[in-house]
Structure 1
């Protein structure tokens, strides 16, 4: 009887010892893979889009032209902000393109190429993209937009050099106006004296190009309000310039900060209009 008790005690001791020794080396047979905070997901309609770790779509707001959120109060309820302090990224995304802002309400929010990132309250499951083109000022967040579509107050300057608000009709007044920008928010203009597919501004030696630089980029992906077929290219003394509805496109050299649109009043209001889908084709 004593021998049996001894053998039982020895077996229990050995079992406990083995369990203790192995506890540091047990491997989860079905580990959960790490998922990045921002994912690069292929959508059948939009191509590559940005989502969170759960696959919920992220969005840009056209009014956020100055790297600050213009979506507050009720807007913020419908478009919850996206923020992760530890912003791990999928391959194909560049950490230099991401940033963080502190909103006017004190909350922090992640940005991509200066555009704050949001969710849409009516996206219910991963893969939903119901927020795209809502109000013509919300667009699915993509890493490869060639251009962006902005909506902001036009601010030129008066004869004394002071800031002055203009409407879409280029008269003094307050109004939000739609217009195209580069992917990073630089305003794009047309010239009223240009003719169809013909640049009538740029000098052959490009001596005046620093004032109104010709604009060109290879069109890849566009916000859904823009039609790729409306764009073309022309040759300007050996350089390529992008056109929209036959109108050559330019930057303004004195737009030094993101969101500037000072060109609307140079040399007088309306000579260099911003460019949007309502512009008259040439």
Structure 2
């Protein structure tokens, strides 16, 4: 089936779309949970638990947040101070606090009206920035600074309506290790938007020094393929439940919103769990919660089943059958 589809010629227009739809299928099934391979120690929940990876406990030169999310003795002040704008080679202009620590925003929050949805363990990993003494430095519109009352009654700084956080694993000024964590945390630009050096298409290609041309999403995060998935005769994702928390599905994008990606089998499908997911050459596409910044490829080869996706949809470095 796979060989005949690949060798078939496509006609322009509706007939081509029909052929593509028939080849990939519009619905997917799931195999048993036993077929999954989460293969990751990255945190679930999308906020980068302080218990995962490196410890967030205070250390010399650290940011002063201990494992309990509180300021450690001798650590830096939790106050915001005068905010500043710094230039980052990967992200462009990034907002920092008075100590030079990067400020972040969370996709699960809202800006209109401002509301923080990061509490408990989340707030330990991502300490909210207090609003009381924050002021605007050069290049920052002071009218964008505001505050929101958190569930515990404290006032949190907002930028353009978005609640601001630090990341407990940023240990020195200029660190941006929180960028892209869980696909939900992003460095703040001075406008309150996500920091971005350039606007990327929904899917595009970047040159990795070790892996060659690889697929990245709109945030520059590496895209992966799970070799236990199925593309023929219909799309089947065998990554569900806890696996999908570690390996979030790439949301569908228009083929016109891609650059450098082969158009064959480039479409979205709806999973049995209701999540909509993008495919390349009919193979489901994922990001990895263990990648914390654009350019990271920490998911490569995990469990012997997860591999970076090539522009053709092939898994780079996967063993040949």
TM tier relative to shorter chain: 0.3 to 0.5
More relative contact order, 1 or 2 (CA 8 Å, 6+ apart): 2
TM-score of the aligned structures, taking structure 2 as reference length = 0.37
Q: Calculate the TM-score normalised by the size of structure 1.
A: 0.42
Q: Which is greater in Rg?
A: 1
